[in-house]
Amino acid sequence: MAITKSVVSRHPLRHAFGLLIRIGLGVWLATGTAMIAYFGWRYTHQLLGIGRSSLPAYSPPQREKAKLWPVTPQPGTKIGDLEIPSLHICVPVVQGTDPDQLEQGAGHWMTSALPGQLGNVYIAGHRDTVFASLRGIKIGDTIVFHTLYGDFVYKVTSTTIVPETDVSVLHSSHSGQTMTLQTCYPFFYFGFAPDRYLVHAELIESPRPHSAALHPQTISGG
């Protein structure tokens, strides 16, 4: 009889414990489903919107259009298109790397050089949208930056993987004209990736000086 009472007295505790486990699993599954739905919606919305939304284009004062970048582009302004022919990538480049700007395309780090200037042109983009194919890039591939002033062509020289905290490339000095592309790494990773994938390139071809004045071009806003 004592054994029976002991078993009966423990049964409600066991039932309550099982109920808590079921509730916890339900909350976990609901939270996971909501997160997947939210990020899936944001990814689809961003992917479909890239290159289709109307962006203000960089437009220097008419009297200074013959000069190369006479005024600094405003944040959110489209400054050109980045093309990697070998990967079939062609995306708009927006001034700035804030989340809203990176939803419009690739983002130009505002304190880095602009095409045609001495220094390093630093471009960042998401690994699951504009730079999803960047993992396939190879040394020797070309990167073309289409701008108001013509096409600046770069050749890939190397790739590196660095921790998220390593921002040395932003502060390194460059005597020539180079470009760095950045995206998160690993490419297939759920959540915030811990590393950064960098593509390093050097300028091999640029338009003639003042070509914008001789052969005017326009950059579409979308």
Catalytic residue among 11, 88, 171, 184: 184
In 21-134, where do the E strands start and end? Answer: 78-84, 89-95, 106-108, 119-124
Contact call for residues 178 and 169 (beta carbons, < 8 A): no
Tokens 């009472």: give the residue: 5
**N-to-C CA span, the chain:** 82
Tokens 């790494």: give the residue: 185
- According to DSSP, the residues that pair with 180 across neighbouring strands are 122, 200
Catalytic residue among 108, 126, 200, 215: 126
215 as an active site residue: the answer is no
Q: Which two tokens stand for residue 151?
A: 């096409």
**Coil, strand or helix at 168:** helix
210 as an active site residue: the answer is no
Contact call for residues 126 and 102 (beta carbons, < 8 A): yes
| Residues classed as catalytic | 126, 184
